[in-house]
Amino acid sequence: MTFVLFAEQLLNGLQFGIMLFLMAAGLTLIFGVMGLINLAHGSFYMIGAFAAAAVAGATGSFLLALVAALSAAAAAGALVELLVIRRLYGKDHLDQVLATFALILIFSEGTRWIYGSFPLFLNIPDYLSGPILLPGGIQYPLYRITLIAVGLLVALGLGLMIAKTRIGIQIRAGENDREMIAALGIDISKLYTLIFALGAALAGLAGALVGAIQSVQVGMGEPVLILAFVVIVIGGIGSIKGALIGSILVGLTDTLGGVFLPQLFKLFMEASVATSIGSSLASMAIYFLMGAVLVWRPTGLFGAR
């Protein structure tokens, strides 16, 4: 295990985690402020990816594709909030789960109806392709570094927004006492639509960015959604900081676990058995992490006690 290889895997884990953060941030905001669990978040991820692929295919511009992803996802989010989510506030979690699960069915099958079951392709733009030389002699894909940078920028932006702006204050107040901000005359419904659309936009952005290195297909969002839930359980509901740290932890555990666990087992088992046991366990590593956090801190690392 050379240093270069290790550094590469570390960066991969970081990139995976940061993209996960985009999903988790929206989800945790939506739950923290609106008390709503939203299973359809994966659909926004998918919509963003499809919009990007379609626009990139038509115009050849990656930048336009990203704009399309953000807009399409945000628009879908706003529409969904106005038509469906509005009726779910204050209802019990079962109703929220079912209604948003229904949305998954509608969005997934709807997309499959329009685009079919085969994956679409979204290409990394030329100016972002190829490797970049990092300190230490590490050659790493420029695109993935860009993803990390974008993700960190978004995290910074979110943090600043919540700490310094008016909306941020409303968000923080809403997390603490929903009834209070309604009583203070703040237009809750606009705030909620905004937050929901923002969360959806972040998911769509993630979908588009990741879609360029994986494939764009129906059902791509749900596995990411579930991982985002793991992140939130680890980080704590309502905490952006928790979402960031949780995502990075999950990303690193998954990537490094997948690389190192088979190696670890090779130390005292024969190679083929080690690889199969190692990778099987690696696929479960994240969930063991989640379980460990649950035993130690049931409400997550940064959740309310």
Q: Note whether 161 binds other proteins by CB under 8 A.
A: no
What is the smallest separation between the CB atom of 83 and other proteins, expressed in angstroms? 10
Contact 23, 154 (CB under 8 A): no
Q: State the Cα–Cα distance between residues 27 and 39, nearest whole angstrom.
A: 9
Q: Which is nearer to other proteins, 56 or 289 (CB)?
A: 289
Q: d(Cα 32, Cα 175) in Å, to the nearest integer?
A: 5
Whole-angstrom CA distances from 300 to 17, 27, 174, 238, 295 are 17, 15, 20, 10, 10
What do you get for the CA distance between the two ends of the chain, in Å? Answer: 41
Site string for other proteins, 41-80 (x = CB under 8 A): ----------------------------------------
- Measured from the CB atom, the residue of 165 and 280 that comes closer to other proteins is 280
Total site size for other proteins, rule CB under 8 A: 44
Token pair recorded at residue 255:
């990537």
Which one among 5, 58, 63, 98 touches other proteins, defined by CB under 8 A?
A: 98
Stretch that binds other proteins, among 110-118, 162-170, 206-214, 239-247 (CB under 8 A): 110-118
291 binds other proteins (CB under 8 A): yes
Question: In angstroms, rounded to a whole number, what is the distance separating the alpha carbons of residues 216 and 118?
Answer: 9
> Considering the rule CB under 8 A, would residue 229 count as an interface residue with other proteins?
yes
Sole window of 10-18, 69-77, 146-154, 283-291 interacting with other proteins (rule: CB under 8 A): 283-291
Using the rule CB under 8 A, is 31 a contact of other proteins? Answer: yes
- Examine residue 90 and tell whether it contacts other proteins (CB under 8 A): no
Instruction: Answer yes or no whether residue 233 interacts with other proteins by CB under 8 A.
Output: yes
Helix (H) or strand (E) run with residue 137 in it: none
Q: How far is the CB of 153 from other proteins (least distance, A)?
A: 27
Q: How far is the CB of 220 from other proteins (least distance, A)?
A: 13
Span near other proteins by CB under 8 A; candidates 160-168, 181-189, 194-202, 288-296: 288-296
Longest dimension (CA), the chain: 68
Q: Is 214 in the site for other proteins (CB under 8 A)?
A: no
Which range in 72-80, 109-117, 158-166, 262-270 contacts other proteins by CB under 8 A? Answer: 109-117
Q: CB 210 → other proteins: shortest distance, Å?
A: 18
Structural contact between residues 230 and 287, judged by C-beta atoms closer than 8 angstroms:
yes
Q: Assess 158 for contact with other proteins (CB under 8 A).
A: no
DSSP labels for 75-134? HHHHHHHHHTGGGGTTS-HHHHHHHHHHHHHHHHHHHHHHH-SSPB--PPPGGG-SEEEE
Residues 230 and 134 sit within 8 Å (Cβ to Cβ): no
- Report CA-CA distances (Å) from 292 to 100, 209, 231, 258: 29, 31, 13, 18
Q: Does 268 bind other proteins (CB under 8 A)?
A: no
User: Counting contacts by CB under 8 A, is residue 280 touching other proteins?
Assistant: yes
Is the Cβ of residue 133 or residue 273 nearer to other proteins in the bound state? 273
Positive or negative CA dihedral for 28, 33, 38, 40? negative
Subset of residues 234 to 253 that bind other proteins, contact rule: CB under 8 A: 237
Is 66:208 a contact under the CB 8 Å cutoff? yes
Do residues 129 and 143 make contact, with C-beta atoms less than 8 angstroms apart?
A: yes
- The contact set with other proteins (CB under 8 A) reads 31, 37, 84, 87, 93-95, 97-99, 101-106, 108-110, 112-113, 222-223, 226-227, 229-230, 232-233, 237, 276, 279-280, 283-284, 286-287, 290-291, 294-295, 298-300
